[in-house]
Structure 1
Amino acid sequence: MKYNRDKKNKMGTALKLPIIDLSSPEKLSTSRLIRQACLDHGFFYLTNHGVSEELMEGVLIESRKLFSLPLDEKMVMARHGFRGYSPLYDEKLESSSTSIGDSKEMFTFGSSEGVLGQLYPNKWPLEELLPLWRPTMECYYKNVMDVGKKLFGLVALALNLEENYFEQVGAFNDQAAVVRLLRYSGESNSSGEETCGASAHSDFGMITLLATDGVAGLQVCRDKDKEPKVWEDVAGIKGTFVVNIGDLMERWTNGLFRSLLDLRSTLHRVVSVGKERFSVAVFVDPDPNCVVECLESCCSETSPPKFPPVRARDYFHERFSQTLASYSGSD
């Protein structure tokens, strides 16, 4: 049984990631640190980002409350489009070796403003059930968006671009970022198939900011072609975000930021460590109408663009149709 065969190898060696101080007044030196982190790992820690530990803990507390509701109450908020509740095994990533999907529950929400907020309205739990839930989540969204904008200014500088480059190309015309609350069951599959909380994958968008409850399980693989794969543990550091680049940023940078041979950003997964695990991922995605094409600072005659231009909307439709069991092209 593959699960048992791999079990002794599930917990990898600890990976020491760079720690980036977002409060540093030295923008150019900070941007150089970000550039090196994205070249070497595609992952880094972000500290002194301005989101209080109290608010981060409050989000995790409210998340636990939501996932502890009876399934029928959660299914009232079932995902339609890209927002709402997704039950266990709803997501089956391309690399999954199981037929039933990953052992995690998810709840996704975004901004209530703009075109996307109207097309994909959020599904909130009833106030009488969770009175602090919505205000806590909306406060968190606003705070993390402020972090994202500041971080992307530094990413632009790291790519030898103007600080407001991504705003200029329309990446933030509409608030496309979403927050995904995650509960990993921590249980193995009784059928004997190998299961993961999240199978090996790369994120689809620009950048992901992750907060965790401190339970282990997140791993990265920096060389996807090495067999057997070497998985390295990424520990949670209280009060920090774990940041990783996504596939669209890989396309923008022509594979410069954490290039892999299949031109996908750094492979990562979540393995079970025998206990529940909660995390909060913020996917900073571009406006659906934004065209992602190779940056001039990332190509040359000897290194031509590896990807054709793609509209963000089309890219996401293609990727979600491969991973979400309940996804349809009309979402």
Structure 2
Amino acid sequence: MENKTQEEASTIKVSSLTCIDLANPNFQQSAVSLKQACLDCGFFYVTNHGISEELKDEAFEQSKKFFALPLEEKMKVLRNEKHRGYSPVLDQILDPENQVDVVLPGWRATMEKYHQEALRVCKAIARLLALALDLDTNYFDKPEMLGNPIAVMRLLRYEGMSDPLKGIFGCGAHSDYGMLTLLATDSVTGLQDKDVKPRKWEYVPSIKGAYIVNLGDLLERWSNGIFKSTLHRVLGNGQDRYSIPFFIEPSHDCLVECLPTCQSENNLPKYPAIKCSTFLTQRYQQSHVNLSIYKQP
């Protein structure tokens, strides 16, 4: 069985994703490239994003310091009802105020700076997405959309060896349920996406200086299924693997309904309108364990 698992992993090819230069002055050219990536697989890289390697390295260093804490210290900042804080292993089934400053003084300053920078980059990507959808560049900047966004950063550590044949993964196959995800990873291989056309898993390698971006279910719904929210997973290879995903969604009160440029007489809206907070709450509850199981009797 172990040999079969290794053989399966060795035959998985490496994904060849589009790379979008955020410093390209020709916005329309970038939007065309981005649109093709969103139609094909919903995954792409961004470069020249303006986030320094020093800041990213510091964020990873702070992440490692947190995960090195004893379990009882991490549990002091258990994820709260606003989904801020520490999530124990297996808390998220698919597989703060930031409270962690209580146990790691100085942690907040680094993470807040990184959060601000990641949010800036996501908004820049959203402007290109608007162009790719034949909308005004600032369409998603409206107050009810990304003018007052839901922006969540997570620090993740994957441990151990995966065995797909036994259903053991660092993180099981899933699609993200928000608008888009900006992902920083270390150099340890593990992330895979599922190619839409051959429906086979492909490794998504980390590229120095670039971020991985993938679209979420909310944007697929917004675009009437035109843009793709792609399945992805993480396979552990025995090495600790760290990543920092940054999720961005429109405001809680945003009504997500088919975009005007994504419907016609021959392509009617496929999904009913839904409030962003309702959609995200439903999806979150489907994929996470209830916090009450961690409370003392």
- Give me the TM-score of the superposition, normalised by structure 1: 0.83
Q: What is the 5 A alignment of 1:172-251?
A: 172-188=146-162, 193-223=166-196, 230-251=200-221
Shift of 1:173: 4.1
Give a deviation string over 1:119-169, Cα, whole Å, max 9, x none. Answer: xx331233xx53331111000011111111111111101111011111236
Instruction: Tell me the alpha carbon deviations over residues 299-330 of structure 1, each in whole angstroms, 9 at most, x when there is no partner.
Output: 111111110011111111111111111358xx
Cα deviation, 1:271-293, whole Å, max 9, x if unaligned, reads: 11111000000001111111111
**Amino acid paired to 1:267:** L
* Aligned-partner Cα distance in 1 for 2:50–2:177: 26
Name the structure with the higher helix share: 2
- Three-state SS of the structure 2 residue aligned to 1:238 is coil
**Offset of residue 172 of structure 1:** 2.2
Match of residue 7 from structure 2: 8
Percent identity (aligned): 45
Answer with 198-207 or 166-175: which moved more: 166-175
Equivalence for 1:118: none
Whether the 8 Å CA contact 1:74–1:85 is kept in 2: the answer is yes
Which range moved further: 162-171 or 266-275?
A: 162-171
- 1:266 to 2:230 alignment: yes
1:64 and 1:305 map into 2 onto residues whose CA distance is 45
Q: Distance in 2 between matches of 1:209 and 1:32?
A: 20
The answer to whether structure 1 residue 125 and structure 2 residue 119 are counterparts is no
CA spacing shift, 1:170–1:4, aligned 2, 3 Å: farther
Residue number among 116, 132, 135 corresponding to 1:142 in the alignment: 116
Matches within 5 A, 1:1-331: 5-11=4-10, 12-81=12-81, 82-93=83-94, 102=95, 109=96, 121-126=97-102, 129-168=103-142, 170-188=144-162, 193-223=166-196, 230-258=200-228, 265-326=229-290
SS at match of 1:74: helix
Most deviating of 164-173 and 76-85: 164-173
Distance 1:307 1:7 in 2: 41
The answer for unaligned runs of 5 or more in structure 2 is 293-297
Aligned-residue offset at 1:175: 3.5
CA distance in 2, matches of 1:53, 1:169: 31
- Residue pair 1:253, 1:294 contacting (<8 A) in 2 also: yes
- 8 Å contact from structure 2 (residues 186, 243) kept in 1: yes
Q: Which residue of 2 aligns with 1:106?
A: none
Q: Which amino acid aligns with 2:274?
A: V
State the one-letter code of the partner of 1:32: V
User: Which AA in structure 2 matches 1:324?
Assistant: H
1:241 and 1:309 map into 2 onto residues whose CA distance is 31
- Aligned-residue Cα RMSD (Å) equals 1.9
Count of aligned positions = 289
Kept after mapping to 2: 8 A contact 1:62/1:132: no
- Indicate if the aligned counterparts of 1:320 and 1:327 stay in contact, CA closer than 8 A: no
What is the distance in 2 between the residues matched to 1:122 and 1:175?
A: 17
Residue type of the alignment partner of 2:283? R
- The answer as to whether partners of 2:179 and 2:215 remain within 8 angstroms in 1 is yes
Segment drifting more, 147-156 vs 160-169 = 160-169
Q: TM-score scaled by structure 2?
A: 0.92
Q: Aligned with 2:46: secondary structure?
A: strand
Q: CA deviation at 1:5?
A: 4.8
Counterpart amino acid of 2:218? Answer: L
The 2-side partners of 1:305 and 1:87 are apart by: 39
Deviation at 1:174, TM superposition (A): 2.6
The answer (yes or no) to whether the contact 2:193–2:201 under 8 Å persists in 1 is yes
CA distance in 2, matches of 1:295, 1:6: 43
CA distance in 2, matches of 1:15, 1:148: 22
- Paired letter, 2:41: H
Distance 1:221 1:148 in 2: 23
Runs ≥4 in structure 1, deviation > 6 angstroms?
none
Residue identity in the other structure for 1:70: P
Cα distance in 2 between the residues matched to 1:288 and 1:211: 25
C-alpha offsets along residues 170-194 of structure 1, whole Å, 9 cap, x if unaligned?
Answer: 11243411101100013458xx953
